[in-house]
Amino acid sequence: MTRIDFYIQQAPQQRELTACRLAEKAWQQGHRVYLNAEDPAQATRLDELLWSFRAGSFLPHEPLSELEEADNTVPIHVGSGLDPSGHHGILINLASEVPLWFSRFERVVEPIDGEERVKTAGRERFRFYRDRGYDLQTHNLG
């Protein structure tokens, strides 16, 4: 069964940065990662942030569009609501809704920050997973 982890950060507007840090950690552990953005604008920001979120960092990644299939040699992909058919490792979900294809992944990561709309949507996703019997883990990042 898919493992679901919520990462809670109290500071507002930290979700994208937290997602990049979690993607980096997963990549360093040899996992393939799909970052699912809320919309194309956020996907573009994430693509840019993966180049610059930390001095000296480089995460091998590429955007995923509707017109192409995921390149299996690239460990991290960024998209918005697209079904990344080649991925089964880690899904980092930044969308407000649970993606229909989430259960195909070994692990789903749900970064939450201090913005009220993010917390509210996160609670809804938490209930969704819990009501379907998923084992939920919560990690407070301080």
pLDDT tens for 47-62 read: 989 888 777 777 888 7
pLDDT at 139: 96
Mean pLDDT of 21-29: 94
Q: Which of 44-48, 79-83, 110-114, 134-138 has the lowest mean pLDDT?
A: 79-83
Q: How confident is the model at residue 113 (pLDDT cuts 50, 70, 90)?
A: very high
Q: What is the pTM of this model?
A: 0.92
**For helices 15-28 and 40-52, angle between their N-to-C axes, nearest 10 degrees:** 60
Catalogue all structural domains in the chain, each as residue range(s) with its CATH number. Answer: 3-140 (3.40.50.10110)
Residues 110, 7 contacting (CB under 8 angstroms): yes
Alpha-carbon distance of 68 to 99, in angstroms, equals 19
Which segment of 5-14, 66-75, 119-128 scores lowest on mean pLDDT? 66-75
Distance between CA atoms of residues 64 and 71, nearest Å: 9
